[in-house]
A = this chain, B = another copy of it.
Amino acid sequence: MTSHQTNPSRSAPTVAILGIGQMGLVCSGMVSTDFAKSPSAPSSAAGLAGAVPWKVVLWGHSEDEAAHLAQHRTSQRLPGFVLPEQALVTPDLRRALRDAEIVVTAIPVQFMRSVWHDAAPLLRPDARVVSVAKGVENSSLLRPTQIVEEFMRSLGDRDSRARVAALSGPTIAPELARCLPAAMIAAGENDEFTKQIQQVFGTSWLRIYTHRDLVGVELAGAMKNIIAIAAGILDGLNAGYNAKSALLARGLAEVVRFGVAMGAQAETFFGIAGVGDLATTCFSPEGRNRSCGEALGRGERLETYLARTPSVVEGVATTKSVVELAKKLNVDMPITLAIHAVLFEGLDPIDAIGRLMTRATKAERVG
């Protein structure tokens, strides 16, 4: 039974989306897509087929950007995307959250804390939060849902774990904006909530699987961006598909080692939110982290690249957090360390790749 059934007095349940970057925008499209959900929806939700048109409210940090989106229904951040007709845009956080049963947090990880400081007290007591952010906070080394939970607990909620989930997977946003087929994972410990996400966000072109390993799904989403920067460096050096695929496999191995040390299940990383997201991020020319790496591989300085890029390159900050956590956990992460050295210690990308290639030859070890 989904929560809106327990509140029959309200006619239209609401999804609030915090953040009007690429993922925030495409999430509004997912919720608004007219989709006969019954054929593939779980049986508990089958009775609701087509009966629940969710309202969507988007909130953006920048008033100018929110105003532009509200008026023109398009965004420079995602060319080709048109905001669904029924979606509202507001710069007023209170208004966005007032009626929201589900809140999507689509804010870059390093900016989440300041937004959630204000947002958490405005949540309805029964509101649930699904994160589409991918990273690990530098200051706290927390995952996105942990940041949200921290605020929920500080406001007295003892059952915050049941109110958070992550929605992740191989989702290059410009493809979602064009309704090209994709698959995602709704991960969380509350099965009722992940099934609700499956039903509310699933569409004819987006297949959502549920998963219980929230730690693994969030870490997979965070760490694939680091490997994608490395993949981009190989592209910048014109190293080819063989090298990039070997890097993907070796990168996956260290992601698994790290994830397991952090309490995740190894097999999560071999699924859609793991190797699936890793593959699309390493190979799609539209990925931001891969593109950043490609610029570095071609000799551009990180500062120069970031200055000319409107979007946040999550992998840069994530590399910092993961290196710090890996030290604490004593996990061997040669690729992540090499990327850290390129990003923050002035190591030449060519030397970094050379260093990775000439590590002592030995038997392959996975996990």
Which positions in A face B, CB cutoff 8 Å? Answer: 39-42, 169-172, 175-176, 178, 180-183, 185, 198, 202, 207-212, 238-246, 248-250, 252-253, 256, 267-268, 270-272, 274-277, 279-280, 282-284, 286, 353, 357-358, 360-364, 366-367
Contact yes or no, A249 B267, CB < 8 A: no
Instruction: Knowing A270-B270, A279-B248, A366-B267, say if A172 contacts B242 (CB, 8 Å).
Output: yes
Residue from the set A238, A239, A243, A361 with the largest chain B CB neighbour count within 10 Å: A361
Using known A-B contacts A275-B275, A367-B270, determine if residue A280 contacts B182 with beta carbons closer than 8 Å.
no
Q: How far is the CA of A246 from the CA of B170 in the complex (A)?
A: 7
A-B contact sample (19 more), CB < 8 A, given A207-B361, A245-B277? A42-B362, A170-B241, A172-B240, A178-B240, A181-B240, A181-B353, A182-B240, A183-B246, A210-B363, A241-B280, A241-B284, A242-B280, A242-B284, A245-B276, A246-B272, A248-B275, A253-B271, A268-B366, A272-B364
Given A40-B361, A209-B361, A364-B185: A180 and B239 interface contact (C-beta under 8 Å): yes
Complex-state Cα separation, A240 to B210, whole angstroms: 23
Q: For the complex, what is the distance from the CA of A58 to the CA of B357, rounded to whole Å?
A: 29
Separation of A210 and B274 alpha carbons in the complex (Å): 25
Q: Which residues of B contact A39 (CB under 8 A)?
A: 358
**Bound state CA distance, A211 and B366, in angstroms?**
11
Q: Enumerate chain B residues within 8 angstroms of A252, measured Cβ to Cβ.
A: 270, 275
Whether B209 pairs with A362 at a CB distance below 8 angstroms is: yes
Given the known interface contacts A207-B361, A249-B279, A279-B248, the answer about A366 and B270 at a Cβ–Cβ threshold of 8 Å is: yes
> Could you write out 28 A-B pairs with CB less than 8 Å apart?
A42-B361, A170-B241, A170-B245, A172-B241, A172-B242, A175-B240, A175-B241, A175-B243, A180-B239, A181-B243, A181-B246, A181-B357, A182-B240, A182-B243, A182-B246, A183-B250, A185-B364, A210-B363, A210-B364, A212-B363, A245-B272, A249-B272, A249-B276, A252-B270, A253-B271, A268-B366, A279-B279, A283-B283
